Amino acid sequence: MAMNTLPEPEQLNYLVEEITSIIAERRFRYGVEMLRMRHEIGRAVLDSPLYRKSGKGQGVLLKRVANMTELGERSIRYCTEFATRFPIFDVFMQKWDGGTKLPVWRDVVKSLPSGERKEEEKVERCKHCFHCPN
């Protein structure tokens, strides 16, 4: 049955479903492309002779690159860790175990060694002074 032969409420429901589907598809593609971009940034850094030449001074190189681009130094470091851990982007996408959830950058960062955040143990302090633990 063509859409123009459907009753008006059903046409509206059809239109809403179509728009919802378009939004979901584009968000998914956008998310994948943003992850792919970060992976490619990491690969570019890792493949650069400047990075290999820097050795222990890689942090200095990343800082210089960060100052010359829109990215932060930490973001570039995460990109390189991402590309190191998953040299092939498509392998990462195949291994991603987020159920139906699209991987987002914060999930990737949490999975990286330097991205792990351990909650600090709270120590109760005495109300009268700041230095004693009780």
Q: Is 61 left (phi over 0), alpha (psi -120 to 50) or beta?
A: alpha
For residue range 7-58, list pLDDT tens digits in order.
788 889 999 999 999 998 898 889 889 999 999 999 999 999 988 877 767 8
Q: What range defines the domain where residue 69 resides?
A: 7-93+105-115
Is there a domain that residue 85 lies in? Answer: yes
Is there a domain that residue 76 lies in? Answer: yes
117: amino acid identity, one letter: R
Is there a domain that residue 16 lies in? Answer: yes
Is there a domain that residue 130 lies in? Answer: no
Is there a domain that residue 34 lies in? Answer: yes
Is there a domain that residue 66 lies in? Answer: yes
Enter the pTM of the model: 0.72
Rounded to the nearest 5°, which phi and psi values hold at 79?
-60, -40
Is there a domain that residue 74 lies in? Answer: yes
Is there a domain that residue 127 lies in? Answer: no
CB 89 within 8 A of CB 39: yes
Domain count for the chain: 1
- Find the length of the chain: 134
